Structure 1
Amino acid sequence: VISNVVRVSSRSRPDVSEVVIEFAWKTNMDFASMDVREKLDLVDLPDDAERPVLLRFDPSLDPIMRISLYGDEDLITLRILAEDELKPALEGLSVESGVMGIEAVGGVAAVEISGGLEEEIHVEVEEAKLANLGIPISRVITRLSEENINLTAGDIKEGEIEYLVRTLNEFKQVEEIQDIIIDFKNNVPIKIRDIGNVRKGHKERKVITRVNGKESVEIAIFKEAGANTVTVAKLVKERLKEIEKRLRKFSDSIRLEIILDQSGFIERSIKEVIYTALWGGILAILILFLFLRSIKNTLIISLAIPLSVVATFFFMHISAVSLNIMSLGGLALGVGMLVDNSIVVLESIDRYRRKGYSAIDSANTGASEVGRAVIASTLTTICVFIPIIFVKGIAGQLFNDQALTVTYSLLISLLVAITLIPMLSSLKIDRKKNPDIKRNGENAVITGNLLPTRILYILLYPLFIVFDIVFPAITRVYPGVVNFALSRKLLIITIALSILGGSWYLYINLGKELIPELSQGEFSIKIKKPVGTPLADMLKTVKRIETIASDNPEIQTIYTITGSTSQAGGTIAEERENIGEINISLREKSNRKLEKNVMADLRHKLKQIPAVEYKFSRPAYFTYLTPVEVEIKGYNLNILEKLSKTVIARLEEVKGLADIKSTIEGGIPEIQIIFNRQRLSQLGLDLNTIANIIRDNILGNVSTEFSRRERKVDIRVRVRKEDIGNVEDLKNFVVNPEGEKPITLASIAEINIKKGPGEIRRLNQERVVVVSANLVGRDLRSVVMDIEEKIADIKITSGFEVSVSGQSREMLVAFSSMVFAIALAAFLVYIVMASQFESLLHPFVIMFTIPFALVGVVLALFITAKPISVIVLIGVVMLAGIVVNNAIVLIDCINTRRKEGMPRREAIIEGGKIRLRPILMTTTTTVLGLLPLALGLGEGAELRMPMGITVIGGLLFSTLLTLILIPVVYDLVEKAKESVWRVG
């Protein structure tokens, strides 16, 4: 038994079957692959079945680039150019010389070509002539292979010379094939020209690719495992410029166009994250300057940002964390927090300077006073990342890189705060050596010497005026507010609990989704027509959709595949004549509203095309599951079909669903030949032989290859299509051309036209039908609840089951593990604080900030109309470590004042008064540092925005409660403790 298997599903179609094995998260897939391969080798498959191909389902196995080759040349020439020029140039293999003729593009694993026409030589024989002459088609196939020889016969040594012996009898010209003697009848040679004709042609078309209305050849580029997508794409683009120059020498009309480039989205997203982090850092520094009004102190604190970021890159390199959206997002998320520790330390040092301490003494005393508090607050922020090892599903995969970058940056910022900040603060410029400083002061001289600083003062002057009015007012009012709160504890607690209860009502009305969809300015439409639709008819439908799409001026590129769909995650692309795919690329890549409108417009117009099923999808980076899937399990296919129709009808009643489709297809039209075994035995005929004769006549057989300039072209032998063009021709087909008396197929077999199963799906060894749908304008959880309500009253036969699956199943796994992670993070925060305060009660007081931070999160999500997702829950985990920091600093200061002999109430008010400024500074810098993240600008913002909103909302609300509620709870707990001691 293979371990860690979650579910096994299969999909069987004519000539192919695909089995998908899903494993538990964090399973070692290398060992799992070996285990599966061992078990497959034990399976006894039919003799004519090929060895199973084992593929790993991985988004990194998708092609990183798709290139279109088109021009005025015919499609056979374009295909040859793609195979002879592009493929060897990009893979490093030279077909002409068989050596490494061109330097290989580093990181390219494979180059696959599709579309165009593949050259093939057709030997088409007349079935009637073969029957009259008594020559089986297998004889033609054998004779061609016998006459086309190039073999090594060994060596002959004569004297000092050793000769290689070769038998050379290959076809030099296609015309030679017509003169090959197949047999002799009455001593008369029968040549191929006597029974048929030879012509240059192409393989039967299965896939047609088009770009902007022109047929083309598609070249898909796959990167090596572990190779960097952006680097490989750059190398490929450089090589394409060289290739295009060579192709232009062949024909001026030939063009190469990149129709898909994953590196573009990655590069743009990373740039946006970097800009977000830069703007966050700039805003944090500006707010510091607003509070401190000191260039020197602002610069000292601001050093924490570049030092922490640069050192973080070093540790990322050591731990093999790449620069990606999540890792850089962690830096963008933490950029505002990098100065928090430095603010607390510098503010404490500055307070002692104002008391008259020397520079060195104030640095020592101030840093020592808050040292334990900043270490504890940093550790509480970092320890929340420990639970990620228990997080299952996609959340754990997303969180890992971000957790490491935030941890590295915060640890380095702590080191800067307790070492570099005190050292720089203790430095004092000698005023005697600089008369300007003696006369005007340090800050004035620095300001006067720096033109940018003067400009900064001018730009911030309106803010200075507002700040100088608001902040002093808050400072004056706050002690009175705390005093009022301490006198009205019951009122404050009641208000706090009411807010907590009210937020629950908002919470249950928030939507829920797994992961926000990434808008990339690209999407695809998979279409399907009834089974049995010829490729030519499917192409007409695809062309009609191309025309509809080309009328929209916002669409830049339309790339279509007829007869196939693009592969995903390493799976084999599905090839059937009745399917197709339309890939749309927009002119504006980061306009989410535009993309949504274009998709809605196309959906509306596609409804007008009869007998077409369609499904819209965006490029998937995290999951390939359809948002909504309803699985119907059972043993009877007819009942499953009836249930699926009922489910589809119910789903059509649910608002917010689109592209509803079922996996049940109409049967494939088949001509079924059922042999009469008794009749075959009487006539001395072999069933297997006859089946092969029928296949060779209808499908044909590749007998040998024609060599042309080191290229191999298949020579296919088959009966003319017009000879067996209908059922009657098949019935009259002679199955024993060498026999004395001709025997027709109809005399030994029953020939019926029926429909065979188009596709059979199974899940965990049970037959299953899947009804899928996409979401439009609604969150996943609310839609799933509506679906569950709609399908609840469906009458289900015993032995059948209807259940909701898709992304909702993955969402439940991720959410449950994230809730556990949040609870564990809160517990770890409590443990760290208990060790720092050497008390169990004071950490309990501080923990009150966490539930009220969640109130802020709910309010922020409700106001911005954002659903709860894995990204939001990751933000909540981080909040558990962040929101306690202000309370830690406040409680630590209150305890210090009490140790100095100050009464409890007075110490609470004084502690709040002392810590008000650093609390507001750290909160404001963190919030403004996160503001660019929360605004959701640029590509990839769907992953950044929810987390920014979550942390900002939770931090702002918890800060307000920290300044008012925490003093009240602290006083209540201390009173209760004193009462217990008195009773004791």
Structure 2
Amino acid sequence: MLDKIIHYSIKHKLVIGFFTLVLIAWGSYSLTQLPIDAVPDITNNQVQVITQAPTLGAQEVEQFITAPIELALSNIANVIEKRSISRSGISVITIVFKDNVDVYWARQQVGEKLKEAEAQIPKGLGEPTLAPITTGLGEIYHYVIHTKPGFEDKYSPTDLRTIQDWIVRRQLAGTEGLAEVSGWGGFVKQYEIALDNDKLNSLNISIPEIYEALEKNNENTGGSYIEQRSSAYFIRGLGQVKSLQDIEKIVVKNINEIPVLIRDVAKVQFGSAMRYGAVTRNGEGEVVAGITLMLKGENFNNVIKNVKERMTQIQKSLPEGVIIEPFIDRTELVGRAIGTVEKNLLEGGLIVVFILVLLLGNLRAGLVVASVIPLAMLFAISMMNLFGVSGNLMSLGAIDFGLIVDGAVIIVESIVHRIVINKSLYPGVNRLSSQQMDEEVYSAASKIRNSAAFGEIIILIVYLPLFALVGIEGKMFKPMAQTVAFAILGAFILSLTYIPMMSALFLSRKTEHKHNISDSLMSFFHKVYEPMLTTVLRFKKITISLSILLFAFALWIFSTMGGEFIPTLEEGDLTVEISMMQGTSLSQTVKTFSKAEEIIRKEFPEVKQAVTRIGSAEIPTDPMPIERGDMMLSMKPKEEWRVNSREEMQEMIEESLSVLPGVNVEVTQPMQMRFNELMTGIRQDVAIKIYGDDLDELTTEAGKIAKLIAPVKGVSEPIVERVTGLPQIIVEYNRDKMAQYGLTISDINMILKTAFAGNVAGVVFEGEQRFDLVVRLHRELREDISNIENLFVPLPSGNKVPLSQIAEVSIKDAPAQVSRENGKRRIYVGFNVRGRDVESTVEEIEKILNDKLDLPPGYYTTYGGQFQNLREANKRLSIAVPTALVLILVLLYFTFHSFKQTLLIFTAIPLSAIGGVFALWLRDMPFSISAGIGFIALFGVAVLNGIVLIGYFNQLQQEGITDIIERVKRGTSDRLRPVIMTASVASLGFLPMALSTSAGAEVQKPLATVVIGGLISATLLTLLVLPILYIIFSTGIKSKLKIPMKSMLTVILFATLFSFTGMAQAQEVKPMSVQECIKRALQDNLKSKISNLEIQQSKSLEKTGWDIDKTNVLLTQDPTSGGNIDNSLSIAQTISFPTVYAMHTKVLRQQTALSEKSASVTRVELIKDVKLAYYNLLYSIERHRLLSFQDSIYANFAERATVR
């Protein structure tokens, strides 16, 4: 089939050219439509339920709101995790669904259950709502609203917040692609009735009377209409208040026929709602901020463009002196990340083109191969757009143009080589005709098609296990696998169609070959390589032994490496998390953060702008207490920093802010912090979670853990989640006294709530703007505990008593927050890891806590954050890596139909792993999921050279070269150029990625490092070791070996499979007994499986022994002399003598018996080989132990001798 495709492409150049133009047009259009972002959105599939209850404490929120909602949500299907935060005034419940669940279906299910839960929540405490449909990447544009210089006194924080809520937010709300716009900071305007307690008491007026008067004197009505003559007149009663003066004139009651007005007992003024958050900027005081939340699944490019266009229009409509200024614009990060991708791809592409032209020695051939790069990319981009894969750092950044052109390189090199060596077939012809050129191209391409096609298919297949990844690593690396697969699929199609057509059309037809720089370069490579090959062929055992030792050494190095989930993305901006003492007032927090901003602006010229978000936003998807905040630092380009790394800058900022008393400081990055919080509920990289029932006990145990882990190297200052110690004024009612006075809890609560929190008595409209009309005590009467004690409560008799006579008022510490996971209370100790890998840090902490921490019964710990992600990803990689290896093995077997040759080529995998491990080690990089994906990609590429060499060895054998040494030398000499070229373009195509220091490069570096290092070792060792193994497998070794080759082969195969399984499982090694090894070998050995399949086939064929031949039906038509048709129908059935069928069945049974005996022999040989290899290994281990012991004795003896 492949031959027919190649032949068609060469003969129908116009058709292939037309489809190429179609591809260019389709790809160009798709490029303009491709969604672009910095990184894949790794946020889990979640729905948040937010309930605001301003009058409740943390325990009451948990009891009355969180617990009933969690119970109602417990029966929803496809839920992975439920976690909640109950804090004073707010409950936030996060329900995490499986990734394949539609978010709208999930929200529908949650919404239906919330209706059930509302019946369990006491009336008036709070109404659950669903958070906007957004993700961790949804906060695309943060802005502040502030005044220009000279206008500071004209606009108050209340005015700025009103502008945000009623001008900016309303105009942004209709922007396509936005889920919500959340406001933060300033003061929400209210019409406030500030009651005077003394005047109320002197006039014997109660708070409920004020509330009732306001409700009854603030409404409009209609009286239908009346008809007068031919007209209808509609009746309206206008009673809504429109100003402060209208409110002042409302009558509360008449005393001795004298009206008492609102202004007689209260001051009517503009006030503000109780606030739980604020925003400061550059140490200059408070401003108002807004956050645009992008709808999940939207195209970032389109949405941010729409937002900026709308912002430009909004700016024109703002009052004079007010401006909007962004402080976080993800366009910059996206631009830097995509710029990194473009730079790496461009540089990688130029390197590949240069190598192609240099090594091919033919400019036309090099350009023909290089033209595959843009065409394959256009095909990949078209498929990405078709399947909804966004273009980002991971999906586009992992493309290696060297891999893309591998198939084209092999075909074009073969064509150029054939034209030169076949010039003797065209004596006296200096230039081939078009037909001759077509024939030569077809002949060369068809002979090498299997190597080219199956090489690309192998690379494609090794990426298939990545499609099975789920969770965070699936979201991160599946787009990469999809894009690479699309590009290689495009290159595969082009190598069979476009490349033969272009080669026949544009390659030089001259048969005369002129010496060029490529020939000189290859001559140099031959001079270096051929003596080396001759030497290693003389010392086969030494060469193989050294290779095995190198592999063992690489495994040892790998076992000492640490591990991390994914290298931290350099976002460019920083976030300073600052927390103060529990119970700190909002005004004091604002002062402290403003001082911190002044320090940052003064000491760090690298900071362009500092904006701090304190407490919670209007839409509290990320609820913080008022004593905690996040300072967003908009940084200048890294080239302008005084230090070289982000870690150094973080340490400098933490040190500079250490002068602030009573604060804890942690520096991280905006997106990193948001991702951590949304995915795990914790902002730090690693969290130790303690589960239990008693909050005080949880706090005590968390404090112990923090002290134990603080000295561990790499652990930043541990942060204990604050769940207790919040000072509260507790009012405990005396029910006996209440019964004496005839009071109810509901009446007193209403008075207490109205007096201090404020109660909404109506709404005041200013055009389309609407503001709450709130009743509360005057601010001066809400500042001390004595104000609560002296609050008068009206009695049914008409008299009043102070609250202190019917309740005890005191200050006590109470829970600040109750955190739960899957219905269980928990607290966490969080920390970031600096200067060390996550895995080894947590392993050391686990050992310390196992030895020194003794938890009470019913309490237990788990680990969360990046370490949890790393462990889960390793479990999946422990399946993906062996699967990729097995797929390679199977595909090689079906390609070469030889188990020996399959294993020969398979040896490239451990040889490539040597270089990959050494490259990570030399660059001081821990093993990460990115590096693990690099190994998977490496294994697919590493076997390409083996395919080319072994395939050519087989071709030479078919051509009559029987001497194996001559076959090896000639084959390696002829194929040296494509081997070097394939490895060079594949490895050096990743070089810019491996060396890049641009934004986002840190995520790509481990992957590129593994592939480059692995291809270097795979190429060098394949050119030297593979010929030796080919000779050994073909002829055997005449000298005596202690370990038979089959046993050694089995050991190598087992070591390869198990070592990479170990890689994925972060070096968790378990001993195996000889019986377990035998069992595993019998299950997984390919030859054993083939024997079993042959037995099954023989048994199936036994049933065909008595099959009768097919019945033949023959219809003939003969014309007669009369012009008619004479039809003749005949039926024939051949039936042999019964003994024939009996003998046939007997033969089939004997074949089955033979297959069973053969399988038995295979089983016995395999068991023998495994036992021999196993006990040889045990012997070596024991011998090593005894020698080590002997060495220690001699060393001890020598030391004592020296002392004497």
1:24-173 equivalence runs, <5 A = 24-43=98-117, 44-55=120-131, 59-60=135-136, 62-71=138-147, 72=151, 73-75=154-156, 76-92=158-174, 105-173=175-243
Task: Identify if the C-alpha distance between structure 1 residues 392 and 892 changes in structure 2 by more than 3 Å, giving closer, same or farther.
Answer: same
Aligned residues: 937
Which of 295, 303, 319 pairs up with 1:224?
A: 295
The amino acid that maps onto 2:631 is I
1:945-964 equivalence runs, <5 A = 945-964=1005-1024
Task: Identify if the C-alpha distance between structure 1 residues 157 and 954 changes in structure 2 by more than 3 Å, giving closer, same or farther.
Answer: farther
- Partner of 1:45: helix, strand, or coil? coil
Give the Cα separation in 2 of the matches to 1:132 and 1:504: 88
Which of 411, 419, 437 pairs up with 1:345?
A: 411
Give the Cα separation in 2 of the matches to 1:957 and 1:596: 33
Other-structure match for 2:848: 790
The amino acid that maps onto 2:162 is I
The amino acid that maps onto 2:761 is S
- 2:386 aligned with 1:318: yes
Other-structure match for 1:271: 339
Gaps of 5+ in 1: 93-104, 432-436, 445-463
Give the Cα separation in 2 of the matches to 1:938 and 1:609: 34
Task: Identify if the C-alpha distance between structure 1 residues 785 and 539 changes in structure 2 by more than 3 Å, giving closer, same or farther.
Answer: same
Offset at 1:61?
Answer: 6.0
Other-structure match for 1:701: 759
Task: Identify if the C-alpha distance between structure 1 residues 575 and 281 changes in structure 2 by more than 3 Å, giving closer, same or farther.
Answer: closer
Other-structure match for 1:102: none
Which of 915, 921, 937 pairs up with 2:981?
A: 921
Other-structure match for 2:633: 584
After superposing the two structures, state which structure 1 stretch, 812-821 or 14-23, moved more: 14-23
Deviation per CA, 1:580-634: give whole Å up to 9, x if none. 2211111115779343322111111233322212332213365444222111223
Does the aligned pair in 2 maintain the 1:850–1:958 contact within 8 Å?
yes
After superposing the two structures, state which structure 1 stretch, 376-385 or 588-597, moved more: 588-597
After superposing the two structures, state which structure 1 stretch, 33-42 or 919-928, moved more: 33-42
Give the Cα separation in 2 of the matches to 1:113 and 1:430: 68
Which of 622, 634, 638 pairs up with 1:573?
A: 622
- Partner of 1:722: helix, strand, or coil? helix
Does the aligned pair in 2 maintain the 1:538–1:578 contact within 8 Å?
yes
Give the Cα separation in 1 of the matches to 2:833 and 2:725: 29
Other-structure match for 1:663: 721
Deviation per CA, 1:710-769: give whole Å up to 9, x if none. 322322222223345433332232211663443222222222321111112233333322
- 2:691 aligned with 1:633: yes
Does the aligned pair in 2 maintain the 1:67–1:260 contact within 8 Å?
yes
Deviation per CA, 1:14-33: give whole Å up to 9, x if none. 23233333445545544444
Does the aligned pair in 1 maintain the 2:282–2:598 contact within 8 Å?
no
Does the aligned pair in 2 maintain the 1:822–1:880 contact within 8 Å?
no
Other-structure match for 1:452: none
- 2:893 aligned with 1:830: no
Other-structure match for 2:788: 730
Does the aligned pair in 1 maintain the 2:221–2:236 contact within 8 Å?
yes
Q: TM-score, normalised by structure 2?
A: 0.74
Give the Cα separation in 1 of the matches to 2:913 and 2:78: 35
Other-structure match for 1:678: 736
Task: Identify if the C-alpha distance between structure 1 residues 80 and 27 changes in structure 2 by more than 3 Å, giving closer, same or farther.
Answer: closer
Gaps of 5+ in 2: 1-74, 426-435, 1039-1044, 1047-1086, 1088-1157, 1163-1204
Other-structure match for 2:1070: none
Task: Identify if the C-alpha distance between structure 1 residues 350 and 566 changes in structure 2 by more than 3 Å, giving closer, same or farther.
Answer: farther
- Partner of 1:2: helix, strand, or coil? coil
1:334-733 equivalence runs, <5 A = 334-355=400-421, 356=423, 357=425, 358-427=436-505, 471-551=522-602, 552-564=604-616, 572-588=621-637, 593-620=644-671, 623-624=676-677, 625=680, 626-723=684-781, 725-733=783-791
Does the aligned pair in 2 maintain the 1:549–1:555 contact within 8 Å?
yes
Does the aligned pair in 2 maintain the 1:69–1:256 contact within 8 Å?
yes
Give the Cα separation in 2 of the matches to 1:80 and 1:636: 43
Offset at 1:497?
Answer: 0.8
- Partner of 1:576: helix, strand, or coil? coil
After superposing the two structures, state which structure 1 stretch, 375-384 or 387-396, moved more: 387-396
The amino acid that maps onto 1:308 is A
Does the aligned pair in 1 maintain the 2:364–2:506 contact within 8 Å?
no
Does the aligned pair in 2 maintain the 1:350–1:362 contact within 8 Å?
no
Q: TM-score, normalised by structure 1?
A: 0.90
Offset at 1:690?
Answer: 1.4
Does the aligned pair in 2 maintain the 1:342–1:417 contact within 8 Å?
yes
- Partner of 2:493: helix, strand, or coil? helix
Give the Cα separation in 2 of the matches to 1:756 and 1:912: 79
Give the Cα separation in 1 of the matches to 2:383 and 2:849: 52
The amino acid that maps onto 1:605 is S
CA RMSD in angstroms, aligned pairs only? 2.8
Does the aligned pair in 2 maintain the 1:378–1:414 contact within 8 Å?
yes
Does the aligned pair in 1 maintain the 2:84–2:94 contact within 8 Å?
yes
- Partner of 2:855: helix, strand, or coil? coil
- Partner of 1:577: helix, strand, or coil? coil
The amino acid that maps onto 2:420 is R
Task: Identify if the C-alpha distance between structure 1 residues 59 and 637 changes in structure 2 by more than 3 Å, giving closer, same or farther.
Answer: same
- Partner of 2:712: helix, strand, or coil? coil
Does the aligned pair in 2 maintain the 1:515–1:871 contact within 8 Å?
yes
Offset at 1:62?
Answer: 3.2
Give the Cα separation in 1 of the matches to 2:364 and 2:613: 63
Does the aligned pair in 2 maintain the 1:67–1:256 contact within 8 Å?
yes
- 2:376 aligned with 1:295: no
The amino acid that maps onto 2:1023 is L
Give the Cα separation in 1 of the matches to 2:102 and 2:172: 32
The amino acid that maps onto 1:520 is E
Offset at 1:682?
Answer: 2.9
The amino acid that maps onto 2:615 is G
- Partner of 1:771: helix, strand, or coil? strand
Task: Identify if the C-alpha distance between structure 1 residues 430 and 36 changes in structure 2 by more than 3 Å, giving closer, same or farther.
Answer: closer
Task: Identify if the C-alpha distance between structure 1 residues 182 and 503 changes in structure 2 by more than 3 Å, giving closer, same or farther.
Answer: same
Task: Identify if the C-alpha distance between structure 1 residues 972 and 147 changes in structure 2 by more than 3 Å, giving closer, same or farther.
Answer: same
Give the Cα separation in 1 of the matches to 2:493 and 2:630: 55
The amino acid that maps onto 1:538 is T
- Partner of 1:799: helix, strand, or coil? coil
Offset at 1:169?
Answer: 1.9
The amino acid that maps onto 1:166 is R
Does the aligned pair in 2 maintain the 1:503–1:859 contact within 8 Å?
yes
Deviation per CA, 1:625-677: give whole Å up to 9, x if none. 42221112233333322221211111111111114111134422222222222
Offset at 1:688?
Answer: 0.9
Other-structure match for 1:859: 918
Other-structure match for 2:1076: none
Give the Cα separation in 1 of the matches to 2:159 and 2:513: 77
Deviation per CA, 1:866-898: give whole Å up to 9, x if none. 121111111111112111111111110011111
The amino acid that maps onto 2:244 is V
Q: Indicate the structure whose relative CO is greater, using CA pairs within 8 Å and at least 6 residues apart.
A: 1
After superposing the two structures, state which structure 1 stretch, 594-603 or 940-949, moved more: 594-603
Does the aligned pair in 1 maintain the 2:572–2:999 contact within 8 Å?
no
1:7-18 equivalence runs, <5 A = 7-18=81-92
